[in-house]
Structure 1
Amino acid sequence: MVRFDDLDLFVRTAACGSFSKAAREANLLPGQVSAAIMRLERDLELRLFARSTRSLRLTDEGERYLPYAREVIELLHSGREVLRRDDAELTGTLLLAAPSDFGRNLLLPWIGEFRRRHPRLEVRLQLSDQVTDVFRDRVDIALRYGQPEDASYVALPLAPDNRRVLVAAPAYLEQCGIPASLDDLQHHSCLLWQLQGRVYDKWVFPIGKARRIVQVKGALVCDDSDVVRRWVLAGEGIAYRSWLDVGTDVRAGRLVVILPDQPGEPAPLNMVCPHRRQFSPAVRQLHALLAERCAALAP
């Protein structure tokens, strides 16, 4: 098994170009460094250095192995620093992007609670239903609905079992009637959301292992999901919304779930960031808080 101390001495020796210089930096004897390199070569079954009485250079195998060794050492150092900082007071700036409806009606008070716990941390919140590009946009993390489609970023689950539900206000149902099946939706005013000019008027429902797509129509369309929520609360029609966004209204009696026995489309909520190295103490502690709050809203 490779020893991390040996790996560290390999990286140091490659940078210094000699056992003696690496030994001075590590406060060791040259023979100790040489023994560590030989032990590492034996463990890897590779020749990492070509040695002579006057020179020391990396072999081809050593050149190819060096970047991986550096990455392991950097990760170990980063992990140690993270553990040291976990108990420290959170400072700096956290850039967070979130969907409009979820951000305004649920996330805002949770961010306030998080800030009261960590008063020296600055939080910059961006609310939009546009999909944030965590690689190009100036954000540290983003909250996203849906199954992660890109394996190049890391997704931490917040509400993995969240689903969409059909909802309407009691006043609308009293006036227009309650749909008895998915087919009845075509006879109702449905509140539609659009993104980048595309109107989402085909609602998807799981039927066993298959799925059914229902074409709906409505005279009210908006690219802000919070506006769609306000319309449904005002009795303007039927909406197909994430349970997280409407669960509080359902429990309070402001909205009614339609066809409760019909499963809705999965809508898991995740915290997304480009790389695990960005899991700062602030990100990890915010994730723990949001996961706890989302779990409390589960149906």
Structure 2
Amino acid sequence: MAYLDNIRTFVRVYELGSMSAAARDQRISAAVASARVSHLEDHLGVRLFQRTTRVLQPTEQGRMFYPGACRILEAVDEAEAEVSEITQHPRGTLFVAAPLGLGRRLIAPNVPGFHTAYPEVNVRLRLSDRAIDLTHEGLDVAFFLGRPKDSTLRMRKIADCPRLLCAAPSYLEQAGAPVGIEDLTRNHACLNLRYPGVDEFQWPLQGRDGIERVSVTGPFESDDGDILTDWALAGHGIILKPRFEVADHLAAGRLVPVLEDCPPVPVQLGCLYTHRRHQDPKARLFIDSMATAIHKALH
């Protein structure tokens, strides 16, 4: 196991380009990460990285060893997955990512129940509205809202989530309700989700002649969807949201739907995962469990 640990640490150092980043990713100290790489170098009799105080770069031998190291780890993971499949006792750690709103409302509440059913599986949940790179960040499963780009990953669609435009009554008292798409773009403050790497700053609305991709503007924006909801609740503008994210606010009257004759196009909710030839049973069981919970919550 020590040799495998050394290889896993080498792979993460190679992928992240930093000993400290790899140590944080594996929840070990930087000293332990450095020692593991050094032990692997001693075993192989070569230098895998050139280290200076500022830069860590793989050597030619390190670049040659990396693909084989990945194949070793993949073979071990697949072998363990097959054993887990047979014994029906999945175990290990799952690294899971999800957008903030989706993760807080539909994923996180159901993690304890999953752990109760499968107590030997630990779940590490990371929530962020930014774009996620599964391979670079060492993730097993990433839930998403929208259209993922990475065609090298497997995708499972879970549901189409209805969306709506809404605002606080205080905003509508001051600015009035938009009476059409042109009125929305010209006369209203729209609170937009923007973060590095996003390629769409438009709202897709169902117009008279089909889908219109509408460019909207507003006084401020954020890369945190819940902050946008807070601003809308405070009367600062109109937001576009999956209905499940604002259902409680709608029921309580804190937010009111607007422009209902031109609704946003539903957004796809799904997940991405990395296993290609043999999906890890614990990942599949987690996805199945979350999909069941999501369908129940949405209906």
Confirm or deny: 8 A CA contact 1:201 1:217 kept in the other structure. no
Question: How far apart, in 2, do the equivalents of 1:80 and 1:116 lie?
Answer: 22
C-alpha deviations, 1:96-154, integer Å up to 9, x for none? 01112222333221223322333332111111122211222211111111134333211
Cα distance, 1:170 vs. partner? 2.7
The answer on whether the counterparts of 1:141 and 1:273 sit within 8 Å (CA) in structure 2 is: yes
1:175 and 1:278 mapped to 2: Cα distance? Answer: 57
Say yes or no: does 1:203 pair with 2:231: no
Give distance in 2, aligned partners of 1:291 and 1:198. 25
The answer as to whether partners of 2:99 and 2:128 remain within 8 angstroms in 1 is: yes
Residues 51-71 of structure 1 show CA distances to partners (whole Å, capped at 9, x for unaligned) of: xxxxxxxxxxxxxxxxxxxxx
Query: How far apart in 2 are the matches of 1:121 and 1:79?
Result: 13
Q: What is the distance in 2 between the residues matched to 1:95 and 1:77?
A: 19
User: In the TM superposition, what is the alpha-carbon distance from 1:255 to its structure 2 partner?
Assistant: 2.1
- Normalised to the residue count of structure 2, the TM-score between the two structures is 0.65
Distance in 2, matches of 1:119 and 1:280, equals: 16
Deviation at 1:82, TM superposition (A): 5.3
Tell me the CA shift for residue 260 of structure 1.
2.2
Give the corresponding residue for 2:218. 218
CA RMSD of aligned residues (A): 2.9
Partner-residue secondary structure (3-state), 1:219: coil
Partner of 1:8: none
Q: Distance in 2 between matches of 1:208 and 1:78?
A: 54
For 2:136 and 2:264, the matched residues in 1 are separated by 32
Q: Is the 8 Å Cα contact of residues 96 and 126 (structure 1) preserved in structure 2? A: yes
Which residue pairs with 1:58 in the alignment? none
Match of 2:104 in 1: 104
8 Å CA contact 1:154–1:273 kept in 2: the answer is yes
1:35: which partner in 2? none
1:293 aligns with 2:277: no
1:169 aligns with 2:168: yes
- The whole-number CA distance in structure 2 between the counterparts of 1:185 and 1:208 is 15
Question: 1:79: how far off?
Answer: 8.3
The alpha-carbon deviation at position 278 of structure 1 amounts to 5.8
Q: 5+ residue gaps in structure 2?
A: 1-75
After superposition, the Cα gap between the structure-2 partners of 1:142 and 1:170, relative to the gap in structure 1 and judged at 3 Å, is same
How far residue 166 of structure 1 moved from its aligned partner, in angstroms, is 0.7
Per the alignment, residue 131 of structure 1 pairs with 131
- Other structure's SS at 2:149 match: coil
CA gap of 1:169–1:79, structure 2 versus 1, over 3 A, is same
Q: Could you state the TM-score of these two structures normalised by the residue count of structure 1?
A: 0.65
Paired residue for 2:86? 84
Summarize the Cα distance change of 1:140–1:260 in structure 2 as closer, same or farther, 3 Å threshold.
same
Percent of pairs with identical residues: 33
Q: Could you tell me whether the CA contact under 8 Å between 1:162 and 1:268 is conserved in 2?
A: yes
Structure 2 counterparts to residues 45-84 of structure 1, below 5 A? 81=83, 83-84=85-86
Indicate if the aligned counterparts of 2:129 and 2:223 stay in contact, CA closer than 8 A: yes
